[in-house]
Amino acid sequence: MRHWSMLLLAALIITYAASARATEGVHDCDKPEAEARIRACTELIETPGINEPRRATAYANRALSYSLRGDYETAIRDYDSAIKMFPDFAVALNNRAWAYFKWGRAETGMSDVQRSLQIEPFSPHALDTRAHIHQSMGEQQGAMRDYESAMVYGGTRMVTLYQCGLRMHRLYSGPADGVIRAELLAALRACIEKGALCDPLPPDEECREAVS
């Protein structure tokens, strides 16, 4: 199972493309296949004379690949490198927070996601990360507030993800149509009350048709 922060890869790719085009032969650093991306990003990072925006984004992109395969410690080291170059790298800050959360160190990630939201206060991905951290820490009101905000700013796609995930926990029986309704909010509250045992997000292989 992997977190739907795979969606954040799109944001990383946009940042990568905006900073500069990849050197010939290392363009796979922005491709979705994780192992190929790790190899290509490593080559890009080690390219002599590469500019800092390109290298920082390559570190963040490689870190996401490590995180998605469960190697959170290595991912965090790469995020550290990216953030050292650009302290206001909001996507990398949020993804490092998620890596800490998945590694069982949620409280350590809170300062990262808070900083990410200072930079991009309407990011549904960062709001979702902070909601998960609040939930794991037993802060139910904070978790609910952030999940609701993630749906408002994430729109139909984020709402549908929660609908699908909560269906899997048998907490929600309504349609996966991206509409916020009372039944969905009640299901989210019930999930939050279960603590870390309940993740309102589905694994990647679920709900693809609903959100495609």
Which domain-ending residue is among 87, 107, 140? 87
Would you say 92 and 60 are in contact if contact means Cβ atoms under 8 Å apart?
yes
HSE at residue 95, side-chain half, CA atoms within 13 A, is: 37
User: pLDDT (tens digit, 9 = 90+) per residue, 11-33?
Assistant: 444 444 444 443 344 457 877 88
Whether residue 95 lies inside any domain: the answer is no
Would you say 183 and 174 are in contact if contact means Cβ atoms under 8 Å apart?
yes
Residue 113 token pair? 């996601």
pLDDT score at 8: 46
pLDDT score at 31: 77
The residue behind tokens 């490689």 is 62
The whole domain housing 168 covers: 122-212
Domains contained in the chain, number: 2
Whether residue 133 lies inside any domain: the answer is yes
Shared-domain flag, residues 140 and 201: yes
The residue behind tokens 């990360």 is 129
Reported pTM: 0.85
205 pLDDT band, cuts 50/70/90, is: low
Whether residue 17 lies inside any domain: the answer is yes
pLDDT above 70 (res 136): yes
User: pLDDT (tens digit, 9 = 90+) per residue, 52-108?
Assistant: 999 999 999 999 999 989 999 999 999 999 999 999 999 999 999 999 999 999 999
| pLDDT above 70: percentage of residues in the chain | 83
Whether residue 135 lies inside any domain: the answer is yes
User: pLDDT (tens digit, 9 = 90+) per residue, 155-194?
Assistant: 999 999 999 999 999 999 999 999 999 999 999 999 999 9
Shared-domain flag, residues 8 and 82: yes
**Cα–Cα distance, 12 to 92 (Å, whole number):** 8
Shared-domain flag, residues 65 and 147: no
Would you say 160 and 207 are in contact if contact means Cβ atoms under 8 Å apart?
yes
Shared-domain flag, residues 76 and 152: no
Whether residue 28 lies inside any domain: the answer is yes
Shared-domain flag, residues 127 and 64: no
* Averaged pLDDT, 33-46: 92
Shared-domain flag, residues 22 and 77: yes
Whether residue 102 lies inside any domain: the answer is no
Shared-domain flag, residues 155 and 73: no
Whether residue 105 lies inside any domain: the answer is no
**Cα–Cα distance, 179 to 176 (Å, whole number):** 8
HSE at residue 82, side-chain half, CA atoms within 13 A, is: 29
Whether residue 93 lies inside any domain: the answer is no
